[in-house]
């Protein structure tokens, strides 16, 4: 029995030992497999991490290179946007806190605002977007401070009222700054540069010290060419010697037959000698040039001309030179421009009286440059009209209602508010038709009606629109291109095709504020080698 039992137990132990070894082998194999798998996984992870870091570095480099900070700060999901919004709100509460004498809270808010500004400035300079770890603490602390401000006594109604008052104050400051900017711009436009003042003095000296110039002037005064209607007549009314010279020089330079051109220049008594000296001592390709002094037009007086009467009025003097303040603050700088008190600007309405023998004349402002032969203007059929001009109503703001007061029945009963405006500065006038239609009489009528300034505010264009209403023939736009004194974006092709380019606006080509892109168009017609110009440029 014992032997059988022993024989029976031996196989069981052998079987048990077998299974133990088998399990151990399986564990070893499983461990080996797990080791291999883990090793491969680690290798894959390291490879993935490496590739991810490399890709992130590339993305970060591209982001740094191409980051548009404006788009970043406008993005609803960016931290820059959140910082900017909280900073704006915090600034409002700084104002309110100071008004309620919570200076410590105002200081805390200001400190966090500076942190926001530094973070946003760094992002803008480096081209890197703001990250959570940078923005998070600031956003959290600012939120806490804003909540604290709201929790004190700054309810919504108080906040709204306070912000409204500050917005109103800021608007008033902005309006004042706009007015001041306009004033400075006009002062710059009206001021005579030192070099031009120097030129005037030298020319006036030449006129006074050179009797032969005065004798030559007397000889040319009665030239039959001045009244010959077979020639081409141009008139310019200006006190700027150099600008007038550019107009004349550019016109003769681009004319097919410059000797057939006659220029009638009218200036004031102060600049008469300088203007005479310049045009008598310089050659303009054989063109005839006449210079007149407006102070010798004795017929142009207060008893004949309403505008002379108005300009001499004490109220007008006070309005333009101080004392009178009952005027819209936005319009005041332009309305107070003394050029509107300058009679030379109104001579354009008296051309038939100044030149009674002439039948047709081209009027040119002193801030234009001629680029094509203008003699072709004299052969244009005006269809019985008086004024040939380029219309300017491609934009709505150049229609009649923008220049005239249509709430006044005198205007609204006679004119179409949508009628197209046109440009002064390059106009062909049929003086025969002018006299027949009595345009100057029309002008006098409207000046009398506007004695109190209720029909239009300032300038010569509004009375021109009224006086030449129904008597204006539209010209091709290429005859007269405007805007070179204020518009930076005129198409080059339009400028090149233009017969006349006009530097209307404050940025005149003879000023430092001139638009550099257009200035060479004017400079090319200045005789830079003239001794006076060289002396004045270097003095």
pLDDT digits (tens, 9 = 90+) for 361-409: 999 999 999 999 999 999 999 999 999 999 998 755 589 999 999 999 9
Question: Within a 10 A sphere around the Cβ of 189, how many other Cβ atoms?
Answer: 16
pLDDT for residue 23: 47
* CA 372 remoteness from chain centre: 27
Q: How is the chain split among helix, strand and coil, in percent rounded to 5?
A: 60, 10, 30
pLDDT at residue 374 in the model:
98
What is the mean pLDDT of the segment spanning 4-29? 47
CA neighbor of 109 nearest in space, from 119, 100, 99, 97: 97
Tokens for 321?
Answer: 């030179």
Q: At what angle do helices 103-126 and 132-152 cross, to 10 degrees?
A: 160
Is residue 337 a contact partner of residue 186, using CB atoms and an 8 Å limit? yes
pLDDT given at position 5: 43
Average pLDDT, the chain: 81
**pLDDT-based confidence at residue 444 (cuts at 50, 70, 90):** very high
CA 433 to chain CA centroid, nearest Å: 39
Q: What is the C-alpha to C-alpha distance for residues 29 and 279, in angstroms, rounded to an integer?
A: 113
pLDDT band at 134 (very low <50, low <70, confident <90, very high): confident
pTM for the model: 0.67
* Dihedral (CA of 276, 280, 285, 286) sign: positive
Q: Report how far Cα 113 is from the mean position of its chain's Cα atoms.
A: 34
Q: What percent of the chain has pLDDT over 90?
A: 51
Going from the C-alpha of 483 to that of each of 83, 503, 505, 509, 513, the distances in angstroms are 43, 6, 7, 12, 14
What is residue 397's three-state secondary structure? helix
**How confident is the model at residue 327, as a pLDDT?**
42
Locate 69 and state its tokens. Answer: 């900070």
Q: pLDDT (tens digit, 9 = 90+) per residue, 53-99?
A: 444 444 344 344 455 667 776 776 788 888 888 887 788 778 777 77
pLDDT at 321 over 50: no
The Cα–Cα gap between 62 and 60 comes to 5
Q: Is the pLDDT of residue 144 over 50?
A: yes
339 vs 362, higher pLDDT = 362
pLDDT of 393 = 85
Report the 10 Å Cβ neighbour count for 472: 22
Quick one: pLDDT at residue 249? 98
Q: SS3 for 110?
A: helix
Instruction: Please report the pLDDT score of residue 314 as a whole number.
Output: 61
User: Within 13 Å of residue 255, how many CA atoms lie on the same side as its CB?
Assistant: 24
374 DSSP 8-state letter: G
Spatial CA neighbour of 280 closest among 217, 200, 209, 204 = 217
> According to the model, what pLDDT value does residue 145 have?
83
**What is the CATH number assigned to the segment(s) 194-536?**
3.90.550.10
Q: Helix or strand or coil: residue 93?
A: helix
Residue 177: what pLDDT? 67
What pLDDT was estimated at residue 54? 46
Alpha helix (H) residue ranges in 399-518: 409-412, 431-437, 439-449, 461-467, 492-497
User: What's the token pair of residue 21?
Assistant: 């070894």
Residues 6+ apart with CB under 8 A from 284: 248, 249, 252, 258, 263
End-to-end CA distance of the chain: 143
Highest mean pLDDT among 201-210, 303-312, 329-338: 201-210
Please tell me the least confidently modeled range out of 96-100, 161-165, 506-510: 161-165
Q: For residues 52 and 49, give the distance between their C-alpha atoms in angstroms, rounded to a whole number.
A: 5
Q: Give the helix ranges, DSSP H, for 191-291.
A: 194-209, 211-221, 241-253, 272-281
Cβ–Cβ under 8 Å, residues 438 and 457:
no
Length reported for the chain: 539
What single DSSP character describes residue 339? G
pLDDT at position 333 is 43
User: Could you give the 3-state DSSP secondary structure of residue 408?
Assistant: coil
pLDDT of residue 316: 58
Whether residue 350 has pLDDT greater than 60:
yes
- Give the tens place of pLDDT for each residue, 233-276: 999 999 999 999 999 999 999 999 999 999 999 999 999 999 99
Highest mean pLDDT among 51-55, 337-341, 343-347: 343-347
User: In which residue are the tokens 């023939």 written?
Assistant: 473
- What is the model's pLDDT at position 395? 59
């Amino acid at each position: 029995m014992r032997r059988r039992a022993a024989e029976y137990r031996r196989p069981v132990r052998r079987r048990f030992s077998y299974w133990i070894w088998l399990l151990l082998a399986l564990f070893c194999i499983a461990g080996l497999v797990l080791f291999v798998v883990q090793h491969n996984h680690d290798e894959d992870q390291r490879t993935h991490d490496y590739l991810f870091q490399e890709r992130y570095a590339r993305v970060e480099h591209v982001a740094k290179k191409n980051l548009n900070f404006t788009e970043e700060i406008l993005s609803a999901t960016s931290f820059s946007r959140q910082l900017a919004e909280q900073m704006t709100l915090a600034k409002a509460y700084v104002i309110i806190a100071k008004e309620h004498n919570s200076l410590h809270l105002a200081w805390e808010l200001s400190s966090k605002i500076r942190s926001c500004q530094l973070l946003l400035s760094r992002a803008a300079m480096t081209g890197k977007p703001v990250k959570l770890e940078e923005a998070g603490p600031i956003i959290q602390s600012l939120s806490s401070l804003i909540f604290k401000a709201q929790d004190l006594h700054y309810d919504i109604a108080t906040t709204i009222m306070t912000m409204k008052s500050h917005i109103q104050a800021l608007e008033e400051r902005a309006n004042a700054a706009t007015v001041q900017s306009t004033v400075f711009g006009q002062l710059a436009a009206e001021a005579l540069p030192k070099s031009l003042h120097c030129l005037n003095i030298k020319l006036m000296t030449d006129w006074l010290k050179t009797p032969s110039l005065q004798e030559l002037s007397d000889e040319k005064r009665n030239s039959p060419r001045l009244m010959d209607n077979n020639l081409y007549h141009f008139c310019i009314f200006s006190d700027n010697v150099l600008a007038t010279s550019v107009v004349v020089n550019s016109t003769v330079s681009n004319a097919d037959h410059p000797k057939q051109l006659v220029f009638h220049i009218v200036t004031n008594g102060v600049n008469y000698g300088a203007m005479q000296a310049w045009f008598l001592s310089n050659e303009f390709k054989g063109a005839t040039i006449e210079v007149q002094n407006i102070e010798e037009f004795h017929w142009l007086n207060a008893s004949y001309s309403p505008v002379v009467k108005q300009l001499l009025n004490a109220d007008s003097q006070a309005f333009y030179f101080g004392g009178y303040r009952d005027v819209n603050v936005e319009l005041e700088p332009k309305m107070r421009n003394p050029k509107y008190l300058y009679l030379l600007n109104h001579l354009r309405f008296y051309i038939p009286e100044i030149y009674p023998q002439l039948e047709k004349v081209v009027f040119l402002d002193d801030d234009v440059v001629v680029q094509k032969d203008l003699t072709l203007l004299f052969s244009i059929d005006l269809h019985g009209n008086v004024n040939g001009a380029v219309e300017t109503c491609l934009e709505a703001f150049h229609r009649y209602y923008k220049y005239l007061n249509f709430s006044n029945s005198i205007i609204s009963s006679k004119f179409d508010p949508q009628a197209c405006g046109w440009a002064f500065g390059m106009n062909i006038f049929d003086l025969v038709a002018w006299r027949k239609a009595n345009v100057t009489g029309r002008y006098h009528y409207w000046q009398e009606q506007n004695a109190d300034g209720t029909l239009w505010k300032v300038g010569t264009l509004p009375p021109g629109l009224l006086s030449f209403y129904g008597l204006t023939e539209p010209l091709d736009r290429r005859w007269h291109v405007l805007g070179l004194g204020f518009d930076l974006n005129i198409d080059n092709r339009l400028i090149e095709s233009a017969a006349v380019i006009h530097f209307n606006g404050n940025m005149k080509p003879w000023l430092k504020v001139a638009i550099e892109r257009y200035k060479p168009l004017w400079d090319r017609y200045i005789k830079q080698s003239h001794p006076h110009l060289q002396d004045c440029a270097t003095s």
